Amino acid sequence: MKSHYRAVVIGGGVVGSSVLYHLAKFGWKDVCMLERSVLTAGSSWHAAGGIHALNADPNMAALQAYTIDLLSEIEAESGQNIGLHMTGGLTLAGTPERWEWLQSAYRTFQAIGITDCHLMTPKEAQEACPIMSTDGVIGALWADREGYVDTTGTVHAYATAAKMRGAEYYEHTKVEELIQTKDGWKVVTDKGVITCEHVVNAGGLWAKQLGRMAGIELPVSPLKHHYLISDTIPELAALDFEVPMTVDLEGFTYMRQDQKGLLLGIYEVDHEHWAMDGAPWDYGMELFQEQTDRIENELILGFERYPALQTTGVKTWVNGAFTFSPDGNPLVGPVNGVNGYWCACAVMAGFLQGGGVGKSLAEWMIHGETEADTYSMDVARYGTFAENREYIRQTTGQFYSRRFVMSYPNEQLPAGRPLKRASAYEGMTAAGCRWGQSWDLEVPLYFAPSEEFVENLTLKRSNAHDIVAEECRVVREGVALLDITGFSRFEVSGPEAEPWLNTLMACRLPKPGRAKLAPMLAESGRLMGDLTMFNWGDGTWWIMGSYYLRAWHMRWFNDHLINGVNVRDLGEEICGFALAGPKSKDVIDKLVHGGVDLPFMGCARMDVGLLQTNVARMSVTGERGYEINCRYGDHISLRHMLLEAGAEAGIKEVGFNALLSTRLEKSFGIWSAEFTQGYTPAQTGMDRWIDWEKDFIGKAGAVAERDGNGPDQRIVTLEIDSEGADPIGYEPVWQNGEMVGFVTSGGYGHTVQKSLAMAMVSADAASEGTALTVHVVGVERGAKVIPASPYDPAGKAMRG
């Protein structure tokens, strides 16, 4: 072991070994991995080792697909047998609602490139898995690329292949302290001190302690997880093929063959956390006593699904710990403000996702960005609010217990909330507000007509459809009031603020007293933000964007910060309300001396009633509107003043569901749908805001796209012949039986009274009038490309 390396990976499980392998593969040979015990100690050795390509998140699906392809490669490269069994897999549906969900999910998988799956009847599922009872099964989804691996062999294959490429790893080397230096890190071990530029936390069950060594509180917690392995089953031994991996969604179980017996795993509803502050250092190859009383209900369902288990003994019980994040996805990437510290933690499905995690992190460390959109596993998707122990306990437990529970797009889950509430929360709740969650914040969805109203959970239009329709009517015909606390706001100041912003943003900067849409690009020319910039005319600027991206964008700003620039996140200081609708000026004029004379996209500091505010004339709804930003302590007063001033005009409070409908009618894209870090300006139409005459981050990539053949895909607006249901995202788009794209987001346009969607489609299918079809909740519907902004295409309403 040397005294210095470029990077040190801490943790010798499947994730750490994959990171080590990819760093070496992509060119960093001067790297090592440290394991306090032996390779696989912790979670890797006792994992069930299941692999499958299916994931409703397209980026996670791509990550899993890469891992599956990689497994055979590292086996061949290392010479280490990984015990790969590609059996295929079944996912069962046992209720009409679940079958509808599974049919919809099947089309989603098609949209994101998973083409080796198809729906099955109960009879077909029975033929694929003869030892299974199909009682209560309505249908199933088959996937070719499912199976399992030998977990110990796989970890050793990664590590051996890494070593063959020049990397090093050392077992029985415990990290005891991390000390940050001006040049990187001192890694203090029980075998001596190593210096390095980069440290990777791949600590698994010990990720919490490795974070605390660097002053970082990671939102992770271990939970216990059971599976059993049966004795030999004669019916299974008699088969001349291996039965497929099978997930019984109603039974909370997964199953695979293990030699001539079955492995039955359980995601128990009655979950149990363990060692929330991290596993003891002397823990590693141990298991917990099985707790059959805690998993009794799930065991009964499992034994009913696989009747042979009722007459077969249990050879082995496994009750071990795995580490989970609040949403179940990994925590990957650089930690803001802690240079050279990287996370590769909470990879709950390490043998399924570990290859993709290693690839993405190695790309990030070496090249500065990843090939794929990694936001869904980026450590920066959480803020400091997620460091709270009770938040971690509630959310990780909720994810675990809901692992196989059907979810709905309009469902609001309770764990970890309500957390942060705007000052006017109580008044809005009394007025009927129904709340959703964005990051740590409660945000208004719509205003119910009575306390008794309960929204039904559905994949189709819910009983809140007409409520949202009325809120949209108010926006279009009168004046609506919307709480906009759920926007992010950053203040930029200092003598170098303007030149810094000019380099950071791809647009021409707004003049004093004006605002402008501002695309922000990565070095590759792909998007890093669809932001709005405000020039207040006194040397200070605001950047406004998506609230849930606060930590993600702040890390980007800090990574590119220069002397003479100060960036401050205003998310704990500033909130506000927006007025939207043709009567919005009538309302604000009553509260501003002399009235408001702002041009479209104009902004100014002004007194609104008794309050000092920052006002901008803009609206995401496509109507005339004003965004009024105030201090947190003024939020209640601002709401009361606006409601009183708007009473004569019939002002009504609305939520973000109405905004989402009205923005679709204007073909306004949003982040995580039409805009992501995987898309380019030309694909999304954001290139119209680029100032090609100046230098900015990402210009070379954007110019190459502009001067080349252009993008292969573009965002378009679709009108869909659908009744009772609307697309929400990732539904496949077809032309003459060939898939040409997918929906990025959709919904109902209450003003134009049409089902609408925005979609990323191939360039040759993007022409207006092109006839297409779209699957909506599993049913193929007619569609066509229509001109952007089906409502008020000339924009007269918002500019008038």
DSSP string, 591-614: TSTT---PPTTBEEEEEETTEEEE
Q: Is the pLDDT of residue 696 over 90?
A: yes
Q: Is the pLDDT of residue 56 over 80?
A: no
Q: Which two tokens stand for residue 204?
A: 């698994």
Q: Mind listing the pLDDT tens digit for each residue in 407-440? A: 899 999 999 999 999 999 999 999 999 999 999 9
- Give ∠ CA 26-109-733 in degrees, rounded to 5: 110
Residue 366 domain flag: yes
**Residue 559: partners with Cβ closer than 8 Å, 6 or more residues away:** none
Query: What is the spatial distance between Cα 664 and Cα 662, in angstroms, rounded to a whole number?
Result: 5
Q: Mind listing the pLDDT tens digit for each residue in 239-282? A: 999 999 999 999 999 999 999 999 999 998 999 999 999 999 99
Residue 159 domain flag: yes
Judge whether 167 and 31 are in contact, CB under 8 Å: yes
Q: Is the pLDDT of residue 306 over 80?
A: yes
pLDDT band for position 57 (cuts 50, 70, 90):
confident
DSSP structural state of residue 156:
H
Sign of CA dihedral 639, 643, 646, 652: positive
State the CATH number of the domain containing residue 371.
3.50.50.60
Alpha helices, H only, 272-424: 296-305, 350-367, 389-401
Residue 710 domain flag: no
Query: What is the spatial distance between Cα 419 and Cα 435, in angstroms, rounded to a whole number?
Result: 12
Q: Mind listing the pLDDT tens digit for each residue in 786-800? A: 999 999 999 999 998
**β-bridge pairing 652-653 and 480-483:** parallel
pLDDT reported for residue 800: 84
Residue of 3, 161, 152 lying closest to 70 (CA atoms): 161
The pLDDT of 746-771, averaged and rounded, is 98
Q: Mind listing the pLDDT tens digit for each residue in 74-104? A: 999 999 999 999 999 999 999 999 999 999 9
Mean pLDDT computed over every residue of the chain: 97
Q: Mind listing the pLDDT tens digit for each residue in 330-378? A: 999 999 999 999 999 999 999 999 999 999 999 999 999 999 999 999 9
Strand partners of residue 10: 34, 201
Q: Which two tokens stand for residue 742?
A: 């997918």
Residue 375 domain flag: yes
Q: Is the pLDDT of residue 504 over 80?
A: yes
**Residue 390: partners with Cβ closer than 8 Å, 6 or more residues away:** none
CA distances from 738 to 733, 742, 761, 772 (A): 8, 12, 12, 10
**Residue 90: partners with Cβ closer than 8 Å, 6 or more residues away:** 120, 125, 128, 129, 140, 141, 142, 244, 245, 246, 247
Query: What is the spatial distance between Cα 123 and Cα 234, in angstroms, rounded to a whole number?
Result: 22
Residue 11 domain flag: yes
pLDDT band for position 406 (cuts 50, 70, 90):
confident
Q: What percent of the chain has pLDDT over 70?
A: 100
For the CA atoms of 620, 375, 444, 602, the dihedral, rounded to the nearest 10 degrees, stands at -30
Query: What is the spatial distance between Cα 291 and Cα 268, in angstroms, rounded to a whole number?
Result: 11
Query: What is the spatial distance between Cα 781 and Cα 719, in angstroms, rounded to a whole number?
Result: 10
**SS3 category, 461:** coil
Q: Mind listing the pLDDT tens digit for each residue in 161-205? A: 999 999 999 999 999 999 999 999 999 999 999 999 999 999 999
The pLDDT of 219-247, averaged and rounded, is 97
- The torsion angles phi and psi of 701, rounded to 5 degrees, stand at -65, -40
Judge whether 36 and 13 are in contact, CB under 8 Å: no
pLDDT reported for residue 205: 97
Domain count, the chain: 1
Residue of 244, 403, 215 lying closest to 322 (CA atoms): 403
Judge whether 101 and 119 are in contact, CB under 8 Å: no
pLDDT reported for residue 113: 86
Residue 728 domain flag: no
Judge whether 340 and 185 are in contact, CB under 8 Å: yes
pLDDT reported for residue 61: 84
pLDDT reported for residue 53: 81
Residue 53 domain flag: yes
Judge whether 7 and 23 are in contact, CB under 8 Å: yes
Residue of 290, 289, 287 lying closest to 279 (CA atoms): 287
Query: What is the spatial distance between Cα 459 and Cα 230, in angstroms, rounded to a whole number?
Result: 38
Judge whether 371 and 62 are in contact, CB under 8 Å: no
The pLDDT of 542-551, averaged and rounded, is 98
**β-bridge pairing 603-608 and 245-248:** unpaired
The pLDDT of 27-49, averaged and rounded, is 97
Residue 184 domain flag: yes
pLDDT reported for residue 709: 87
- Give ∠ CA 589-591-594 in degrees, rounded to 5: 55
DSSP structural state of residue 379:
G
pLDDT reported for residue 114: 87
Query: What is the spatial distance between Cα 609 and Cα 616, in angstroms, rounded to a whole number?
Result: 16
The pLDDT of 461-474, averaged and rounded, is 98
**β-bridge pairing 331-334 and 245-248:** unpaired
Alpha helices, H only, 439-514: 465-477, 497-504
Query: What is the spatial distance between Cα 52 and Cα 309, in angstroms, rounded to a whole number?
Result: 24
The pLDDT of 563-580, averaged and rounded, is 98
Judge whether 763 and 772 are in contact, CB under 8 Å: no
126 residue type, one letter: Q
372 is in which domain, residue-wise?
4-83+150-221+327-379
**β-bridge pairing 514-521 and 527-535:** antiparallel
